[in-house]
Amino acid sequence: MRNGFAVFFAVLIALGGSWLGFVVAPAIQLGKAKQAVILNSADTWPLQRTGDATLGLQIYRANGCAACHTEQIRQDGVAAEITLTGLGNSKPDDFKAFVQSLFVLPELVKVTNNLAATLQDWKGDLPATILTTDDRAVAEAMADRLKAAGVKSETHIVATGEDIPRWGIRRSVAADFLYDDPVQLGSLRVGPDLAGVGARLPDANWQLQHLYAPKLSVTNSAMPSFKFLFDVRKTGSAPSPDALNLPKEFAPAAGCEVVPKPEAKELVAYLLSLRADAPLYEAPFTPVISAKP
Amino acid sequence: MNPAETDQVCTAKIDASCRVPLLALFGGAALWLVVGLLLALLASLTFHAPEMFAACPFATYGHLAPAANDLLVYGFAIPAALGVMLWIFARLSQAELVLPILPIAAANFWHLGVFIGLITILCGGSSGFTWLEFPRAAAMLLGVAFVLIAISAVGTFGQRKERELYPSHWFLLAALLWFPWIYSAANLFLVTPTPVRGVTQAVINWWFANNLVFVWLALVGVGIAFYFLPKLSGRPLQSRFYALFAFWTLILFGAWTGIPQGAPVPAWLPALSAVASVLLVVPLLAIEIVACRTAWGSVRSKWDNGSFCFISSGVDFFFISGLLLVAEACPQFSRVLEFTWFGVAQVQLQILGFSAMILSGAIYEILPRVMAAELPFKGFVKAQFFLSIFGVALFVIPLAVAGVKQGRAAYDPAAAKLWLMISTTGLLCLLLGSLLLAANIFVMTMKWKLALAKTVIAYIKSPLEAPEKISEVKP
């Protein structure tokens, strides 16, 4: 390269390409995104946050919570789960014999070992998940056979992966962050992922206690205490209804109570608004209402 | 080497023209390096005792860690790199710095911007975007300062006698164009009253973060190394063709890396990014080959030179840091490594291992020349070198191990705790090393200022005593 213009054009091509690809293209593809429709429902996703939760997002930002927490659940794939809900007229042993008679079918060869292992431990309690497979054809074949035999079963689509169901029931998708500003996905899990924390730990009092004294509920927590989001004050004649209920070792001096400041309540409102629990086109699953124990 | 550089007549004048701008840039940079490492050390103490700073809101990990990172990159790496770049441009052009007042003003704007940014982050005013935490006011100051320095740099570049570009020119000029583009684009899309919506914010943030911390630091680091390695080892760059190849592949592939694999974004983004990351092995190898072939052929005594040790090890650290980046992007490894300390290890190796080492080496080489004086503490160079090597090893290796352990143990915080505690000692070594650099720069600046003050006082006093002696007062 002989002069400065050559370098200029090199940068124009290299950085311009990546600018078009990673800045302009996503802005076009996602910039006009609207609320998504929840599967098998007329409702839309995500919900607009309440005022408190919107303010809480700013508390989350100001305290740099994203330095230690992610808001993205990963998923390997989906699986079909066949759950037995009723045996009709047959007894558990008859059912086991019936399933064993299906093992010769070519479409079920892949899952015979799993089925046999599951049924060996099964004592006849209902509902029971007898088969989990990522092969749709297998799941459909099995469900058809069960139906033909007069056994009641439900087929659920479930998300699979290391993060599931530990931190959420499905992966995070772009639609979840429509109302976030700033979007704080985080890149380091010193603490747990929070994308589904509102569904996982929905008790606001638990969240407040955890912010005040992390070691109270999680013994080996690495989280610093956020005591500066709380007021410790004299109980006086009119105790605050908001005061935290703390065990002795974490409680303040006698005659004092710990009252969350508005910031703490807003932060908790934000945390509880993080749910990621609606089935969407790009992250399908069957919402479980009653079938699971 | 650039043949035009053989002319030594005006070298002293060229060096002198860089003196004040470089002192302004390096002085602030050294200060921010010390403060940044201090904040990083405080943040690291959180792992030993999480409750330590519970009472003060501005000292929680979430405040200290981004502040420390920003100080290391915006406070130290960028101004120091710009200073070195100005000097290299002046030397390669065989011309005095054009409009030296611009970089002097810019250095003050820049460091003021960093100061505003630091205070804002500690007070909870961070924008919430990684590497873009600074508020708009600070970002504007940084942008203006960068453009001012770029004007002076490009002006000096235009004065060159030898029209053919030297390989360092490509890398450094590209860096000059790179930063305004990414910084303005990211700030205009994200840190405004009307940012883009939804997860696009995260994509642009990753694009910026990677282009700043990986590509920009790589461009200036490699550009500086390609200037100093031939000088210090007494051999020409081996070879120009490899360097050209490295330059093109680095900017073509590097610009597309950085989107994490599990991100909740359209799948083509992480897929494209993974391909680019794996291809990044090509420029990494090319740069390492150029550096090794240039440095190996000469006599062993070059290791006596502290700057050579710094720059040569810096290039090796870049190679390792790049390989860590590639490992992170491979889908089969990213399942374990994503969201762990491994990513932090890579970024810190890039900043403190690669960038800071090369810049420290370059500063030690440049300072005595532009000041026309010996370093006040020559022994500190080697001492800082060994402290940096130990520091980087003790900081980055435990973090990487912590990352793997954490990923294997399904993000159990207990799995990484011991290793995080070890990493604190590495930061302590790095902090001590940075104090040595700061001591050299500050003592040198003070000596120069005292000499200047003496001259001025002598000048003021002299007419009263003996007017004919004015001409004898030496600066």
* Amino acid B300: pLDDT: 62
* Listed ranges B178-182, B297-301, B369-373; the one with the highest mean pLDDT: B178-182
Average pLDDT, chain A: 90
In this predicted structure, the answer to whether residue B298 has a pLDDT above a threshold of 70 is no
- Taking the CA of residue B410 and the nearest CA in chain A, the distance in Å comes to 8
Interface test with A, best of B42, B151, B160, B265 (most A CBs within 10 A): B265
CA triple B162-B167-B171, angle to 5 deg: 120
Which residues does chain B have within 8 Å of residue A6's beta carbon, measured at their own beta carbons? 165
Which residues does chain A have within 8 Å of residue B406's beta carbon, measured at their own beta carbons? 189
* Amino acid A292: pLDDT: 44
Which residues does chain B have within 8 Å of residue A192's beta carbon, measured at their own beta carbons? 411
Least confident of A39-48, A73-82, A127-136, B72-81: A127-136
* Amino acid A85: pLDDT: 86
Cis, bond preceding A182 (omega within 30 deg of 0)? yes
B67-86 mean pLDDT:
97
Structure tokens, B91: 């030397």
Query: What's the CATH code, domain B3-454?
Result: 1.20.210.10
Tell me the ipTM for this assembly: 0.92
Judged by CB atoms closer than 8 Å, whether chains meet at A228 and B56 is answered as yes
Judged by CB atoms closer than 8 Å, whether chains meet at A64 and B47 is answered as no
Burial track A173-185 (b if 16+ CB lie within 10 A, e otherwise): bbbbbbbbbbbbb
In terms of CA atoms, which chain B residue is nearest residue A173?
B264
Neighbours of B383 (CB within 10 A): 15
Q: Is the Cβ–Cβ distance between A174 and A52 less than 8 Å?
A: no
Nearest to residue B436, comparing CAs of B364, B358, B370?
B364
Distance in angstroms (rounded) separating the CA atoms of residues A224 and B470: 65
Neighbours of B435 (CB within 10 A): 18
Which residues does chain B have within 8 Å of residue A66's beta carbon, measured at their own beta carbons? 62, 128
AA letter at A287? P
Judged by CB atoms closer than 8 Å, whether chains meet at B178 and A223 is answered as no
Judged by CB atoms closer than 8 Å, whether chains meet at A185 and B264 is answered as yes
Judged by CB atoms closer than 8 Å, whether chains meet at B177 and A7 is answered as yes
> Number of Cβ pairs closer than 8 Å across A and B?
213
Interface test with A, best of B70, B89, B201 (most A CBs within 10 A): B201
Gyration radius from chain B CA atoms: 23
Confidence of residue B174 (pLDDT cuts 50, 70, 90): very high
* Amino acid B238: pLDDT: 87
Judged by CB atoms closer than 8 Å, whether chains meet at B164 and A2 is answered as yes
- Taking the CA of residue B461 and the nearest CA in chain A, the distance in Å comes to 50
- Taking the CA of residue A289 and the nearest CA in chain B, the distance in Å comes to 26
- Taking the CA of residue A237 and the nearest CA in chain B, the distance in Å comes to 27
In terms of CA atoms, which chain B residue is nearest residue A191?
B413
Which residues does chain A have within 8 Å of residue B211's beta carbon, measured at their own beta carbons? 15, 18
Per the model's pLDDT, the better-predicted residue between B146 and A123 turns out to be B146
Q: Which of A3, A33, A188 is closest, CB to CB, to B198?
A: A33
- Taking the CA of residue A179 and the nearest CA in chain B, the distance in Å comes to 6
Residue A4 forms contact with B (CB below 8 Å): yes
Distance in angstroms (rounded) separating the CA atoms of residues B145 and B82: 11
AA letter at A94? D
Distance in angstroms (rounded) separating the CA atoms of residues B396 and B352: 9
Which residues does chain B have within 8 Å of residue A228's beta carbon, measured at their own beta carbons? 54-57
Give the per-residue SS3 of B302-342.
HHHCHHHHHHHHHHHHHHHHHHHHHHHHCHHHHHHHCCCHH
Distance in angstroms (rounded) separating the CA atoms of residues B153 and B173: 9
Which residues does chain A have within 8 Å of residue B124's beta carbon, measured at their own beta carbons? 62-63
Distance in angstroms (rounded) separating the CA atoms of residues B115 and B35: 11
Burial track B280-305 (b if 16+ CB lie within 10 A, e otherwise): bebbbbbbbbbbbebbeeeeeebeeb
Q: Which residue has the tokens 């502040």?
A: B67
Helical H runs in chain A? 4-19, 25-31, 51-62, 92-102, 112-121, 136-148, 197-200, 204-212, 214-217, 262-273
Q: Which of A166, A173, A220 is closest, CB to CB, to B414?
A: A220
In this predicted structure, the answer to whether residue B402 has a pLDDT above a threshold of 80 is yes
Q: Is the Cβ–Cβ distance between B17 and B100 less than 8 Å?
A: yes
Q: Which long-range contacts (CB under 8 A, 24 or more apart) does A10-14 make?
A: A10/B170, A10/B174, A10/B247, A10/B248, A10/B251, A11/B174, A11/B177, A11/B178, A11/B181, A11/B251, A13/B252, A14/B248, A14/B251, A14/B252, A14/B255
- Taking the CA of residue A146 and the nearest CA in chain B, the distance in Å comes to 37
* Amino acid B471: pLDDT: 53
Judged by CB atoms closer than 8 Å, whether chains meet at A10 and B65 is answered as no
Per the model's pLDDT, the better-predicted residue between A32 and B200 turns out to be B200
Give the Å distances, CA to CA, from A94 to A99, A122, A220.
9, 13, 49
In chain A, which among 62-91 make CB contacts under 8 A with chain B? 62-68, 70, 72, 74
- Taking the CA of residue A240 and the nearest CA in chain B, the distance in Å comes to 22
Residue A219 forms contact with B (CB below 8 Å): no
- Taking the CA of residue A86 and the nearest CA in chain B, the distance in Å comes to 37
Q: Is the Cβ–Cβ distance between B329 and B261 less than 8 Å?
A: yes
Which residues does chain B have within 8 Å of residue A223's beta carbon, measured at their own beta carbons? 50
Average pLDDT, chain B: 92
Share of chain B above pLDDT 90, in %: 82
Which residues does chain A have within 8 Å of residue B170's beta carbon, measured at their own beta carbons? 1, 7, 10
A177-206 mean pLDDT:
93
- Taking the CA of residue A150 and the nearest CA in chain B, the distance in Å comes to 42
Q: Which of A63, A171, A224 is closest, CB to CB, to B124?
A: A63
Give the bridge partners for A257, in sequence order. Answer: A233
* Amino acid A5: pLDDT: 92
In this predicted structure, the answer to whether residue A146 has a pLDDT above a threshold of 60 is yes
* Amino acid B472: pLDDT: 52
Least confident of B134-148, B295-309, B317-331, B401-415: B295-309
- Taking the CA of residue B117 and the nearest CA in chain A, the distance in Å comes to 13
In terms of CA atoms, which chain B residue is nearest residue A161?
B335
In this predicted structure, the answer to whether residue B332 has a pLDDT above a threshold of 90 is no
In this predicted structure, the answer to whether residue A222 has a pLDDT above a threshold of 50 is yes
Distance in angstroms (rounded) separating the CA atoms of residues A184 and B37: 25
* Amino acid B125: pLDDT: 94
Q: What is the pLDDT of residues B236-276, one digit of tens each?
A: 998 899 999 999 999 999 999 999 988 999 999 999 999 99
* Amino acid B1: pLDDT: 47
Q: What is the pLDDT of residues B200-245, one digit of tens each?
A: 999 999 999 999 999 999 999 999 999 999 999 888 998 899 999 9
* Amino acid B161: pLDDT: 87
Residue A176 forms contact with B (CB below 8 Å): yes
Q: What 8-state DSSP symbol labels residue B199?
A: T
Q: Which residue has the tokens 């804002």?
A: B120
